[in-house]
Amino acid sequence: MKDLNELLNDVIENEKMIYGVLSNQRKKDNNNFIKVNLKPVLIKGEKKIQFTYEYNSKVMHKNLGKSDSIEELDELLKNYFKQGMFFAIDADYQVLISKKGKVNILKKKPTKEQISLSHNRKKEYIINEGTPCDFLIRLGIMNESGKVYNKKYDKFKQINRFLEIVSDIVPHIKGKETFNIIDFGCGKSYLTFALYYYFVKILKLNVNIIGLDLKSDVIEFCNNVAKDLNYNKLRFIHGDIKDFDDIEKVNMIVTLHACDTATDAALAKAVNWNTDIILSVPCCQHELFKKINSSTMKPMLKHGIIKEKLSSLITDSLRANLLEILGYSTQLLEFIDVEHTPKNILIRSIKSGKIDKSCIDEYKSFKEAWGIKDIYLEKALEDKLKDMDI
Ligand SMILES: C[S@@+](CC[C@H](N)C(=O)[O-])C[C@H]1O[C@@H](n2cnc3c(N)ncnc32)[C@H](O)[C@@H]1O
C-alpha cells in the first residue's frame, strides 16, 4: 500500500484511527521515551490526537491537531521508532521502517471497532450538545442547531456540572407544592436560567426563582431574556443581598461567586430564614487575610500567594463548620476542574435540624489556632449562635 505520508494522511485527516502505538526504539536510550501511544480525544469540542510518551519512570501527554499530528508521527517514525501500529476503522496497519529508512506497510483486517474519544468521553450531561436548548441559544452558548460554540465550551460544562450537583438535591424538592429559590449575586445568570430550565422545563416542578444583583443593567438584561423565553416564574430584582427581605418563604439559596463577604451575607440570610437548601460557591476572600495569625504556620503565612489561598480555605472551613453547628448537613464539593477557575469549592448544605455540639468545640479551637477573634458570618448569625457559647 501507499507510502507513509499517504497512510498518515488517510488515518489522521479522515479520522479513521481508533488507536495507535509506536514501539521498538531505533536507538536504545533509557532516557528517552520508549513507546508512544495514540488515541483520538475530544477537547473543548475539538478533535485532537493525544500522544502519550512513555518513559521508564514517567508518562507525558501532548494533544495535537491533525496536521501537527501528521508531522509529529512522521518525525517519530523516521527518527525514533522502527515500528508503528495504526488500528483504523477499515484496517490495521503495521508500519515497519528499516535501518536504511525503507518503509514497509502491511495492511490487515481491522481488529478494533469504534472510535472512543475517552479522554473526554462523551458524558451524559443533563443538557446535551446537539439538542437545541432555548436559554443556551439566547445567551450565546450554542447555535440554533444545538452546537456549542468552541469558546463557550467551559461555560457549557460549568452549567452541566452545576446541574449535576443540583440533581442530587431533587429528592428534597419533589413533592413540595411550591419551591422558592433565590440566586444571590446572579450576575448574567447563566446558572439561574439553567436552574429554571432544569426544574421547570425538564422536571416540571412548581418552582419560583428570583435572581438578585447589585447591577441594574444586568437585572434589566436578565428580565428581558426571561420574558423572551416565557420563563414566567423567573424574575430578577435589583438590590443588595444584605438588605433583601422581600419574600416570605425561601426554600433554597444559591450564591455563585458572590464577591468576598457577599457570600456570607447570603449564607446568613439563608440560615436566618431557615432555608432548607444552600448551594454556595464562594468567590474572592479578603476578610481573613488580615486576621489569621499563627507562629507555627509562619512559613505559610509569610508568602502572600500562599496566605491568600490559605485564608480562603480557612474561611470556607469556618463557613462549613458554622453551618454544621446550626443544623445543616454540609458537604464541600469540587464545582469544576481547577483548570477553569480557581474558585471551585461548592458548599452544599441541607437543613437536618440536628445540632452537633461537637462542632462547637471544633470551631472554637480551629479559630484559636489561627488567632481569629471574630468573623463576618458569626456576627451576621449572632441571634442564632447566642446560646452556643461561641
Ligand atoms: C462574579 S459575579 C458571579 C455571577 C454569577 N453568579 C455566576 O456565577 O456566573 C458576582 C456577582 O455578584 C454580584 N454581587 C456582589 N456583591 C453583591 C451584593 N452585596 N448584593 C448583590 N449582588 C452582589 C455582583 O454584582 C456580580 O454580578
| Angstrom distance (rounded) from CA 262 to CA 44 | 32
Indicate whether residue 215 lines ligand 1 (CB < 6 A). Answer: yes
pLDDT of residue 37: 93
Phi-psi region of 204 (alpha: psi -120 to 50; beta: other; left: phi over 0): left
Contact 126, 160 (CB under 8 A): yes
Indicate whether residue 254 lines ligand 1 (CB < 6 A). Answer: no
- Give the DSSP letter string of 36-62: EEEEEEEETTEEEEEEEEE-SS-EEEE
| Angstrom distance (rounded) from CA 210 to CA 178 | 14
Indicate whether residue 388 lines ligand 1 (CB < 6 A). Answer: no
pLDDT of residue 38: 95
d(CA 190, ligand 1 centre) in Å:
12
pLDDT of residue 227: 97
Indicate whether residue 257 lines ligand 1 (CB < 6 A). Answer: yes
Indicate whether residue 84 lines ligand 1 (CB < 6 A). Answer: no
What CATH number has the domain spanning 134-385? 3.40.50.150
For residue 274, with 0-12 CB atoms within 10 Å meaning exposed, 13-18 middle and 19 or more buried, which class applies? middle
d(CA 187, ligand 1 centre) in Å:
5
Within 8 A by CB and 6+ apart from 176, the residues are: 206, 251
Residue with cell 509529529: 72
Domain ranges of the chain: 4-120, 134-385
pLDDT of residue 255: 95
pLDDT of residue 127: 94
Indicate whether residue 259 lines ligand 1 (CB < 6 A). Answer: yes
> Which among 350, 379, 166, 165 is positioned nearest to 274, based on CA atoms?
350
For residue 372, the surrounding DSSP H or E stretch is: none
pLDDT of residue 100: 87
Measured from the Cα of 215, ligand 1's closest atom is 25
Residue type at 10 in one-letter notation: D
pLDDT of residue 216: 97
Indicate whether residue 191 lines ligand 1 (CB < 6 A). Answer: yes
Indicate whether residue 346 lines ligand 1 (CB < 6 A). Answer: no
Within 8 A by CB and 6+ apart from 166, the residues are: 195, 198, 279
pLDDT of residue 388: 84
For residue 145, with 0-12 CB atoms within 10 Å meaning exposed, 13-18 middle and 19 or more buried, which class applies? exposed
d(CA 206, ligand 1 centre) in Å:
26
pLDDT of residue 304: 92
> Which among 304, 286, 301, 340 is positioned nearest to 154, based on CA atoms?
340
d(CA 191, ligand 1 centre) in Å:
12
d(CA 128, ligand 1 centre) in Å:
27
| Angstrom distance (rounded) from CA 333 to CA 343 | 12
Tens-binned pLDDT, residue by residue, of the chain (390 aa): 568 999 999 999 888 899 999 999 988 887 889 999 999 887 766 788 999 999 887 888 999 999 999 999 999 999 999 999 999 988 999 999 998 889 999 999 888 766 555 544 555 689 988 889 999 999 999 999 999 998 998 899 889 989 989 998 998 887 788 899 999 999 999 999 999 999 999 999 999 999 999 999 999 999 999 999 999 999 999 999 999 987 888 999 999 988 878 999 999 999 999 999 999 998 877 889 999 999 999 999 999 999 999 999 999 999 999 999 999 999 998 887 555 555 789 999 999 988 778 899 999 999 999 999 989 999 999 999 988 888
For residue 214, with 0-12 CB atoms within 10 Å meaning exposed, 13-18 middle and 19 or more buried, which class applies? middle
pLDDT of residue 15: 86
Backbone angles phi, psi at 240, to 5 degrees: -100, 135
d(CA 184, ligand 1 centre) in Å:
7
pLDDT of residue 188: 94
pLDDT of residue 243: 93
Q: Mapping DSSP to helix (H, G, I), strand (E, B) and coil, where does residue 302 land?
A: coil
pLDDT of residue 339: 53
Identify the residue whose C-alpha is closest to ligand 1 atom 10: 258
